[in-house]
Amino acid sequence: MAVAWHGPVVEAISWPAARALAAAAVCPGKPGTVPLRQALGRRLAGPLTALVAVPGTDVSAMDGYAVAGPGPWRVVARVLAGGAAHDRPLRAGEAVEIATGAPVPPGAGSVLPYERADATGGQVRGPAEEGRHIRRRGEDVPEGAVVLAEGAVVTPVALGLAAALGHDELPVRPRPRVAVLVTGDEVVDRGLPGPGRVRDAIGPFLPGLVEWAGGRVTGVHHLPDGPGPLRAALTGGWREAAPAWQHAPEEGGRSPERAALADGRSHEPAAVMDGRPPEGAAEIVVVCGASSRGPADHLRAVLDGLAADVLVDGVAVRPGYPQLLARLRDGRLVVGLPGNPFAALAAALTLLAPILRELTGTPAAVETSPLHGVVRPHPRDTRLVPVLRSEVGAIPAGHDRPGSLWGAALAGALAVVPPGWAGERVELIELPPGV
Ligand SMILES: Nc1nc2c(c(=O)[nH]1)N[C@H]1C(S)=C(S)[C@@H](COP(=O)(O)OP(=O)(O)OC[C@H]3O[C@@H](n4cnc5c(N)ncnc54)[C@H](O)[C@@H]3O)O[C@H]1N2
Ligand code: MOO
């Protein structure tokens, strides 16, 4: 609740500088190696290569007879997939009965499928074609081939491919953990907001945005206004919890966790910040709605009290001006987002997304476009304008007040309109897509 200006006026940095600074605030995370099942949805930290050729040897593509030379052929053995290979080369005029996937003996020129074979009394006849129905070693995937590039998302199909190529584990990029703290006595997390109340519109969009940028939200926690709960949440870490809107309904739209905090019943114990994050704490903490300078905006004071290093305090962008980036003494980053939901989205794309992309080595798509329609640039600040893509270029989607996500929900991207813009092409930044 920002009702009055308190404290000194701080010069905001430019929007491009804020994005660059956020990315520079982190070192790319170290990749890890995880068992196949745990790799699902992660990004590869190196190219996926074939540890073996597929198939690993020349095998039959059909159930039938592997034959050598011109027919008719005398059936000398039977070879099943997984069974013993035929122990000597086939001579002309010989055949082995063979199953799909079984190794073809050396000397066999082709496989005659059952349905084309006339087999009687240990003899086979039929139209054999040289090379037919034999899958040669490495024909599907040669040994050592790079089948997926570094950075590719490990899909269910990629897991199957990795297994086929001999992998039991995969190197994946780290997935930074993000804890979300939604502040504001007026903010409710379920139901219809009554008079003086507003539904939380930021907590619901952050998990998808974070996931899209390569991270994982460990929990969305609603805090009452006041420095105590904020300080406790920052210093005590936060226990892993289901997103707040999954709690059982409670009067007033407050989660039990939040109600307890509001009543002063359960402040997390404030750990000493001794250079190590609290056990199990997320590497990044996002604080929503306490970033301006009103009497209920305690984030700066709490950060000061914790001797945090404030890296960004205000960005010359509309919406999203009062956003903040700080490093706690234990190394965790705190991203402060404004309470107005569209401003929070703009700020999340300015500071949070570049941090996550840098940590996970996932570059954002780069796109520019002509921009049509009535767009008024700001004299000093960058504007982020929700736009629809069209054949002629980007067109403003409208409904772009800082308090409303309507325009951004309609839009395909945000157009970056620099201060004093005079109609040149603009950069478009992606909005997180649906899954
Ligand atoms: N004197 C000044 N006042 C304000 C300035 C300024 O420069 N000087 N900046 C304004 C701008 S711009 C923004 S944006 C807001 C940001 O304020 P806060 O981050 O402190 O957020 P609040 O004051 O708590 O809330 C602002 C607004 O958003 C609603 N809100 C808060 N949280 C949520 C949520 N999770 N979901 C939906 N809506 C939320 C809240 O009820 C308020 O209406 O400060 C201006 N003031
Ligand atoms: O961040 Mo405020 O728009 O800039 O409402």
CATH code, 163: 3.90.105.10
Tell me which ligand sits closest to the C-alpha of residue 400.
Answer: 2
Same structural domain for residues 249 and 300? Answer: yes
Instruction: Scan for tokens 């956003």, then name that residue.
Output: 323
Same structural domain for residues 300 and 397? Answer: no
Q: Which atom of ligand 2 is nearest to the CA of 318?
A: 4
Residue ending a domain, among 360, 389, 410, is 360
In a domain, 183, yes or no: yes
Q: Which atom of ligand 1 is nearest to the CA of 338?
A: 19
In a domain, 8, yes or no: no
The residue whose CA is least distant from atom 32 of ligand 1 is 339
The domain tally of the chain equals 4
Say how many Å lie between the CA of residue 410 and the centre of ligand 1: 22
For 384-411, write each residue's pLDDT tens digit: 999 999 999 999 999 999 999 999 999 9
User: How far is the C-alpha of 72 from the C-alpha of 389, rounded, in Å?
Assistant: 67
Say how many Å lie between the CA of residue 106 and the centre of ligand 2: 74
For 327-369, write each residue's pLDDT tens digit: 999 999 999 999 999 999 999 999 999 999 998 888 888 999 9
For 87-114, write each residue's pLDDT tens digit: 789 999 999 999 999 999 999 999 999 9
Strands 134-135 vs 59-60: parallel, antiparallel or unpaired? antiparallel
For residues 324 and 299, the answer to whether their CB atoms sit within 8 Å is: yes
User: How far is the C-alpha of 351 from the C-alpha of 185, rounded, in Å?
Assistant: 25
In a domain, 297, yes or no: yes
Same structural domain for residues 43 and 179? Answer: no
**Lowest-confidence segment of 191-195, 218-222, 256-260 by average pLDDT:** 256-260
Closest residue by Cα to residue 231 from 274, 285, 192: 285
DSSP-H helix ranges across 213-352: 227-235, 256-262, 299-305, 341-347
The residue whose CA is least distant from atom 1 of ligand 2 is 320
Same structural domain for residues 249 and 331? Answer: yes
Q: Which atom of ligand 2 is nearest to the CA of 343?
A: 1
Tell me which ligand sits closest to the C-alpha of residue 318.
Answer: 2
Q: Which residues pair with 95 in a beta bridge?
A: 67, 75
Residue ending a domain, among 78, 111, 135, is 135
Same structural domain for residues 342 and 194? Answer: yes
The residue whose CA is least distant from atom 3 of ligand 2 is 319
Same structural domain for residues 96 and 190? Answer: no
Who has greater pLDDT, 182 or 253?
A: 182
228-255 mean pLDDT: 56
> Residue 159 has which token pair?
């897991």
218-232 mean pLDDT: 92
Say how many Å lie between the CA of residue 340 and the centre of ligand 1: 5
In a domain, 246, yes or no: yes
Same structural domain for residues 192 and 297? Answer: yes
For residues 221 and 286, the answer to whether their CB atoms sit within 8 Å is: no
> Ligand 2 pocket by C-beta < 6 Å: which residues?
318-322, 338, 340, 343, 402
Q: Which domain holds residue 82?
A: 59-135
Closest residue by Cα to residue 355 from 281, 282, 419, 303: 282
Please say if the pLDDT value at position 262 is more than 90: no
Tell me which ligand sits closest to the C-alpha of residue 384.
Answer: 2
Tell me which ligand sits closest to the C-alpha of residue 225.
Answer: 1
Same structural domain for residues 124 and 264? Answer: no
Q: Which atom of ligand 2 is nearest to the CA of 317?
A: 4
Say how many Å lie between the CA of residue 292 and the centre of ligand 1: 7
Q: Which atom of ligand 1 is nearest to the CA of 343?
A: 14
For 17-64, write each residue's pLDDT tens digit: 999 999 999 877 788 899 999 999 888 999 999 999 999 999 999 999
Closest residue by Cα to residue 261 from 294, 287, 227, 285: 227
Say how many Å lie between the CA of residue 343 and the centre of ligand 2: 5
Tell me which ligand sits closest to the C-alpha of residue 199.
Answer: 1
Is this complex scored with an ipTM above 0.90?
Answer: yes
> Ligand 1 pocket by C-beta < 6 Å: which residues?
1-2, 5, 182, 184, 186-187, 198, 200-202, 288-294, 297, 319, 321-322, 338-341, 343, 402
In a domain, 1, yes or no: no
Q: Which atom of ligand 1 is nearest to the CA of 292?
A: 20
The residue whose CA is least distant from atom 4 of ligand 2 is 319
The residue whose CA is least distant from atom 5 of ligand 2 is 402
Report the residue among 340, 381, 405 best suited for mutation to probe ligand 1: largest number of ligand atoms under 8 A from its CB.
340
The per-residue pLDDT of the chain, averaged, comes to 87
Q: CB-based contacts of 216: which residues, under 8 Å, 6+ apart? A: 175, 176, 177, 178, 210
> Residue 116 has which token pair?
């084309």
What percent of the chain clears pLDDT 70, i.e. is strictly above it?
88
CATH number, domain at 17?
A: 3.40.980.10
Closest residue by Cα to residue 342 from 269, 403, 260, 273: 403
**Lowest-confidence segment of 86-100, 133-147, 190-204 by average pLDDT:** 86-100
